[in-house]
């Protein structure tokens, strides 16, 4: 089975940087994903890490340490539209399992 932990809520200010952490325990790790989900909508893909290190994609970066079972999503230059739930998801050989999500609120 899999166990995925991430903070329930975070608040940050527009223009700031925020880091959302995710820890996981899994048998048969096959990649870690970050998704963004706005209320009432389906998740949208943000990033994918399968090897250790940092993946950068514009304002968003994601880091993975497989030995520590740890990942983080870094959001820079926060905008109001970044207010959403951020889901960490871990894939094993068979399926993708989602964490409970971190609700990020960006304040003006």
Partner 1 sequence: GAVVSQHPSWVICKSGTSVKIECRSLDFQATTMFWYRQFPKQSLMLMATSNEGSKATYEQGVEKDKFLINHASLTLSTLTVTSAHPEDSSFYICSARGGTGGSSYEQYFGPGTRLTVT
Binding site for partner 1 (CB under 8 A): 31, 33, 35, 40-45, 48, 50, 87, 91, 94-101
Taking the least distance from each CB to partner 1, the nearer of 9 and 14 is 9
Taking the least distance from each CB to partner 1, the nearer of 4 and 106 is 4
Q: How far is the CB of 83 from partner 1 (least distance, A)?
A: 15
Q: How far is the CB of 70 from partner 1 (least distance, A)?
A: 19
Taking the least distance from each CB to partner 1, the nearer of 43 and 69 is 43
CB atoms inside a 10 Å sphere around CB 61: 19
DSSP states of 25-64 as a string?
EESS---EEEEEE-TTS--EEEEEE-SSEEEEETTEEEEE
32-37 vs 84-91, strand pairing mode:
antiparallel
């Amino acid at each position: 089975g899999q166990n995925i932990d991430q903070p329930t809520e975070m608040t940050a200010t527009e223009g700031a940087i925020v880091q959302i952490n995710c820890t996981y325990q899994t048998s048969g790790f096959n990649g870690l994903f970050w998704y963004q989900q706005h209320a009432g909508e389906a998740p949208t893909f943000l990033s994918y890490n399968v090897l250790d290190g940092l993946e950068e994609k514009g304002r968003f970066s994601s880091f993975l340490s497989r030995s520590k079972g740890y990942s983080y999503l870094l959001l820079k230059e926060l905008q109001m539209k970044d207010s959403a739930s951020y889901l960490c998801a871990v894939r094993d050989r068979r399926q993708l399992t989602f964490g409970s999500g971190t609700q990020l609120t960006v304040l003006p």
